[in-house]
Amino acid sequence: MMDPPTNSLVGPLLTDLYQITMAYAYWRTGQHSKRAHFELFFRKNPFGGSYTIFAGLDEVLKFLSGFKFTAEDIEYLRKTPQLGHCEPAFFDDYLANLDCSDVVVSAMKEGSMAFPRVPLLTVTAPLGIGNLIETTLLTLVNYPSLVATNASRMVVAARGQFWEESSGSSAPVSDKRNLPSGDGTAGSKQMPRKSMQVAEGGQADLARRKPKCVEFGLRRAQGPDGGFSASKYSHIGGFHATSNVLAGKLLGIPIAGTHAHSFVQSYTSLELVKGSKLKNAKGDEMVELLPLVLAYRDEMGWNDTNDGELAAFVGYATAFPGSFLCLVDTYDTLRSGLRNFVCVSLALDDLGYVPRGIRLDSGDLSFLSLECECVFHKMADQHDRPFSMTWTLSPATI
């Protein structure tokens, strides 16, 4: 016996009423035992794409394995106005004893690439039970496949799909007016440019970096099950990790997270982190981080950055020095958040810690991601240290 479906709502009653009315008509005319062949397929790839990732098979098999109407289910159906006239034997003899022992399922491997009008799975079963499981199978496959496909498209884009003039999207631009002083490309004319990765070596550079996608969608999901399913099937679609802690526990998916805008806004002064220390990874002594950070801010001439934001970054760095990754767009991404991150990162590097990067989730993500990367390259060249970044993007923006 397999484990039950992940969601306890998945059961025989998770279906459309017409499946039950048809089952009664089949039973009433003696057709319910006639074997039939059902195919689950789709007519068009989602998102205007060229493929679909098949997902949801594991939940389908769990559902079929445990399919059984409870006494409460049958009593509810018996009292339903649309079924009140049905013969008692339909409920007591047929539905009460119905299971999926006569159902045969053939399916492609979960996570496989699928195409329109090619069955994702086929079901050979008696007409009665075949209709009763149809709606449930569709809902267990359609949404998971949609999420897995969208995730796959993002992963593919992150691994090498770049902006082109024919793509229909606006090209990112670089201009001194848009950048912190000294951080951009000189020139008065805005010139479109492609991703820095192309200039650095295209696909070979991407292979070296091995970019990863992380799912942070729980708070925007269609309810708890929508959020849990999205975490699960994004992973099947190729995402590396999720922010969903429950999905991490139940499914073994790596979990990841940084901090929120509210964390940054809760710090209003550098006084809040004075005296905050962390262990020097190159030695044994405890070191106060803020003086090192302020020394770099003075050296860069960036003294007009937001002090509260800088305090938040220092506080977060002392708590998580080995996984320092910051959300930098709470106030001004290029003139404050990015600069504050760089100052804290350089101080952490002095103490033997490797910063993880930055996160963006607002504004023109395409433009900002390229400009932040441009600054990272400049800082890496000046200080001979690596910098990295992460951001929230759609396949088209990537």
Q: How many angstroms from the chain centroid is the CA of residue 326?
A: 18
Q: Which of 92-101, 116-125, 151-160, 262-271 has the lowest mean pLDDT?
A: 151-160
| CB 24, CB 77: distance < 8 Å | no
**What is the pTM assigned to this prediction?**
0.80
Instruction: Select from 197, 216, 195 the least CA-distant residue to 208.
Output: 197
The CATH number assigned to the domain holding 140 equals 3.20.140.10
**Band of pLDDT at residue 149, cut at 50, 70 and 90:** very high
Single residue among 133, 153, 173 that ends a domain in this structure: 153
Helix ranges (DSSP H) in the chain: 17-28, 57-65, 71-79, 88-89, 127-158, 196-200, 202-209, 223-236, 245-251, 261-265, 289-300, 307-319, 338-350, 365-383
Distance (Å, whole) CA 287 – CA 348: 11
Distance (Å, whole) CA 223 – CA 116: 29
Q: If you ran DSSP here, which 8-state letter would residue 255 be given?
A: B
Sign of the CA dihedral with 120 first, then 121, 127, and 130 last: negative
Distance (Å, whole) CA 295 – CA 18: 72
Distance (Å, whole) CA 299 – CA 240: 38
pLDDT confidence of residue 193: 36
- Whether residue 281 lies inside any domain: the answer is yes
Single residue among 153, 188, 203 that ends a domain in this structure: 153
Could you give the angle at the alpha carbon of 47 between the alpha carbons of 239 and 243, nearest 5°? 25
Domain range holding 374?
259-383
Rg of the Cα atoms in the chain:
28
The CB-based long-range contact list for 188-194 (8 Å cut-off, 24+ gap) reads 192/165, 193/370, 194/162, 194/163
Q: Share the mean pLDDT of the chain.
A: 85
Parallel, antiparallel, or unpaired for β 173-174 and 357-359?
unpaired
**Band of pLDDT at residue 69, cut at 50, 70 and 90:** very high
Q: pLDDT of 89-124, one tens digit each?
A: 999 999 999 999 999 999 999 999 999 999 999 999
Q: pLDDT of 191-212, one tens digit each?
A: 333 333 333 344 444 445 567 8
Q: Can you count the helices (H) and strands (E) in the chain?
A: 14, 13
pLDDT confidence of residue 285: 92
* Tokens, residue 263: 């964390």
Location of structure tokens 């559902």: 63
- Whether residue 248 lies inside any domain: the answer is no
- Whether residue 191 lies inside any domain: the answer is no
User: Residue 61 pLDDT more than 80?
Assistant: yes
pLDDT confidence of residue 176: 41
Both 138 and 263 in one domain: the answer is: no
- Whether residue 133 lies inside any domain: the answer is yes
Helix, coil or strand: residue 394? coil
- Whether residue 272 lies inside any domain: the answer is yes
- Whether residue 224 lies inside any domain: the answer is no
pLDDT confidence of residue 186: 37
Both 263 and 143 in one domain: the answer is: no
Parallel, antiparallel, or unpaired for β 191-192 and 35-40?
unpaired
User: Residue 272 pLDDT more than 50?
Assistant: yes
Give me the torsion for CA of 218, 221, 224, 226, rounded to 10°: -120
* 76-115: burial string, b at 16+ Cβ within 10 Å, e else: ebeeeeebeebeeebbeebbeebebeebebebeebbeebe
Instruction: Select from 310, 299, 317, 309 the least CA-distant residue to 355.
Output: 317
- Whether residue 356 lies inside any domain: the answer is yes
- Whether residue 317 lies inside any domain: the answer is yes
Q: Which of 33-37, 374-378, 381-385 has the highest mean pLDDT?
A: 33-37
Total number of domains in the chain: 2
Single residue among 105, 134, 153 that ends a domain in this structure: 153
* β-strand partners of 106: 122
* Tokens, residue 103: 């159902």
**Band of pLDDT at residue 397, cut at 50, 70 and 90:** low
**Band of pLDDT at residue 391, cut at 50, 70 and 90:** low
- Of 57 and 166, more confident: 57
* Tokens, residue 319: 């708590």
Q: Which residues contact 41 (CB under 8 A, 6 or more apart)?
A: 116, 117, 118, 119, 120
